[in-house]
Structure 1
């Protein structure tokens, strides 16, 4: 018997990966992952299906322990970032095999993660654990500005703040002291550079499948400045592709080995002085359209592969890369009124475009990744992935109209970003 903790829209595919789903799958899923399939039809596909509003509901862990004991669960499987620790905790409490709490903590706790990487000689941003505003002030004196404050277990850039000056630091520490802001527990130095990520599969501490991609704006920019969340796969011949794959392999080797096959996502900054600095690594598939685009490219669904690996069935995972490359863009709402939203995308490389925003509606600033007013998937065929993504950004900026927009990407970031592409990355392309 297998317990699946799920918050992804993949319930309809579980019987594809687990042909005996009606006999062996006990599924606890968020309601938001239900999708368009009626609950009765989905429910009949599993031994048991239970829907919850959130997998972080207080008291859910005790309910899950009771459910596991009642149904004779032998393995616990999860799909989401925040469920990695919960699944490991349940395994430990019930004495079940799989990723243990030490390994899960290394992949979720940013301080633990980066301490391990530092010990292995892998570059990460200078950092400090925070217990008080005084710790943050001391770190700023050492690292200089800007500095990044966050929670060690945060995800989706939720709660991340960038302090650009001593005045910003003074305001933030005053708010922290007065309890007007959530207390951070980690500070990091700002790392300037182009942003990349590598997605794929690892097995017992070694990478077996990897696809590097370029991302014009890191996730924080999408939350802080409503920058489009864009990503595009690099061709094998790009100068950064082997470097990123090699560095990802070093990172995985430095971390505790996840048993069996498991998806991973590793993020890197490529600095102007030509260093690769690790942002972070996760032992789960990437979000947004990462899984869908990579399934077409790699010939395997990263969620499905991870679930089979956690079930002890890594030998059932197969993949066949196609050589095709894709990219995507998620356009978050700006802080303002949406006056014009394009209903189709005329770019010739468009594979899918969906507009969900409402014209005439005033949108508040987003606080984490996830919300969008439109989404786009494109085919990539040129050698210059950055140029293809910049064409997507240019189209969007010319097609969408916001009134009273308050949080657009400052021109200094956009000009720096484009300058880096023109003079640094393209100059290094072979």
Structure 2
């Protein structure tokens, strides 16, 4: 019996692919064609998939390249777990008549202005926002709303995000290579909500709270979060998730939603893919639910393979992403944390980082952490970050 060929677009570490495809029995009926670049190539990938290395930076060229792979290999499904490829994967499905999320649906989860326009019209609380093309438009928005945030309409990872506190800080938007939007600054903590939706119903839901605003990564040099345990807050956040899913028309998929924790819960943005930067790994540690694998299962029409309850290992769980450079002091601090059982897993993403981080998950090191409670783990993480920051000196 011939295997079912699928195309998987990949621009993450080997670890993420391993978390998806390592269960050989689960994928025994499938022939996985993994497309990536030299940067993300790892010899171990060959043990999991058929690997094709190409240039992934030019999405138009990549679309043509993937089209040939689809035709030559009779590909039946296209999947990805990263924001960069969400629209491309959907466009390939549309072009070749393949099942899965359509381009129109994917666009509603990718275009920050479109999603807020649709949601605001249906009663979801959103910040004031506007598309901007000139400095005068940004200035006019700032005069009406005060402190505001300028970011690409199809941005990811808080890359190219600018917080504008005064008229003196206005950037020249005419020099931006992407279409930009501006929105009112919300001075509140932020939660991330990570869910699996099947046939329009939320079947799994979790939420965490960031310790730093994702947009502050250049100053903080950390990106960390702790899973929320407050049952009442989780219920309210789940209600927001379900409302958004209905408005944006989500049938099947894994989503990463960000919400400001104000009394009315203000929407920030949502993506049609698993949370990155350690969030998916944290959810798996706490709940035993693999969001990355769930996304690919749903992309491939495998609802029956989903697992919503697993053997989670941590009472309170979170992640610590370190955006500053590695050094011997950090290695020692994390080794001590592992010995105490506070640090569960350490991934050294890069040996060093000579320049400032490019986005909020541009880590040198990623750690998964656990604690006795949400509040205790927050306190432990803050202490851990202070010790790590001290190794960098002034």
Task: Tell me the TM-score normalized by structure 1.
Answer: 0.81
Q: Which entry has the higher C-alpha Rg, 1 or 2?
A: 1
- Is 1:4 the counterpart of 2:11? The answer is no
What CA deviation, in whole Å up to 9, does each residue of 1:286-324 have, x standing for no partner? Answer: 111112221233322111111111111111112214464
Tell me if the contact between 1:340 and 1:400 (Cα under 8 Å) persists in the aligned partners: no
Change (3 A) 1:357 1:256: closer
Question: Cα deviation per residue 1:9-66 (whole Å; 9 max; x = unaligned)?
Answer: 34344252674558532221344444462x5x42xx54x4202353645511111111
1:125 and 1:279 in contact (8 A); partners too = yes
Question: Per the alignment, do residues 290 and 18 of structure 1 end up closer, same or farther by CA in structure 2, a change over 3 Å counting?
Answer: farther
Does the 8 A contact of 2:333 with 2:388 survive in 1?
Answer: no
Shift of 1:154: 0.5
Q: Deviations over 1:74-122 (max 9, x none)?
A: 2211111111100111111112221111100000000011111101101
- The 8 Å contact of residues 327 and 379 in structure 1, kept in 2 or not, is answered as yes
Residue equivalent to 1:318: 307
Q: Go from structure 1 to structure 2 and tell me whether the alpha carbon gap of 1:16 and 1:33 turns closer, same or farther (over 3 Å shift).
A: farther
Q: Which runs of 5+ in 2 are unaligned?
A: none
Q: Which residue of 1 aligns with 2:31?
A: 24
Following TM superposition, by how much is the alpha carbon of 1:184 offset from its aligned partner in structure 2, in angstroms? 4.9
Mark the runs of 5 or more structure 1 residues left unpaired by the alignment.
406-430
CA contact (8 A) 1:77 1:310 kept: yes
Report the CA distance between 1:204 and its aligned residue: 2.8
The answer to whether the aligner puts 1:164 opposite 2:158 as a matched pair is no
What CA distance in whole angstroms lies between the structure 2 residues aligned with 1:107 and 1:136?
24
Does 2:243 match 1:250? Answer: yes
Q: Does 1:380 align with 2:382?
A: no
Q: 1:372 to 1:20 in 2, by over 3 A?
A: closer
- Judged with a 3 Å threshold, the aligned counterparts in structure 2 of structure 1 residues 234 and 374 are, in CA distance, closer, same or farther, namely same
- Pairs within 5 Å for 1:184-223: 184-222=179-217
> What is the CA distance between 1:213 and its match in structure 2?
1.1
Give the direction of change, closer, same or farther, for the CA distance of 1:220–1:11 in structure 2 (3 Å limit): same
Contact 1:143 1:189 (C-alpha < 8 Å) held by counterparts: yes
Does 2:323 correspond to 1:332?
Answer: yes
State the superposition RMSD in angstroms.
2.6
Contact 1:268 / 1:277 at 8 angstroms: preserved in 2? yes
Q: Counterparts of 1:112-131 in structure 2 under 5 Å?
A: 112-131=114-133
Contact kept, 8 Å, 1:265 with 1:285, in 2: the verdict is yes
User: Which residue in the other structure is 2:356 paired with?
Assistant: 365
Indicate if the aligned counterparts of 2:281 and 2:368 stay in contact, CA closer than 8 A: no
Q: Does the CA-based 8 Å contact 1:338-1:363 persist in structure 2?
A: no
How far 1:188 sits from its partner (Å)?
0.6
Distance 1:390 1:23, change over 3 A: closer
Within 2, Cα distance between the matches of 1:184 and 1:112?
13
Residue in structure 1 matched with residue 225 of structure 2 by the alignment: 231
Distance 1:26 1:375, change over 3 A: closer
Give the conservation status (yes or no) of the 8 Å contact 2:150–2:162: yes
TM (normalized to structure 2)?
0.88
Structure-2 separation of matches of 1:88 and 1:57:
13
CA distance in 2 between counterparts of 1:115 and 1:17 reads: 43
Deviations 1:143-200 (A, max 9, x none): 22x111111100001100111101112xx23xx45x3x55652011100111111112
Question: Partners of 1:277 and 1:395 in 2: how far apart?
Answer: 30
Deviations 1:223-277 (A, max 9, x none): x313421111122x4442222222222222221223x3x2111111112xx1200
CA distance in 2, matches of 1:3, 1:34: 16
Residues in 2 aligned to 1:132 and 1:18: alpha-carbon distance in whole angstroms: 55
Give the 3-state SS of the residue equivalent to 2:36 in structure 1: strand
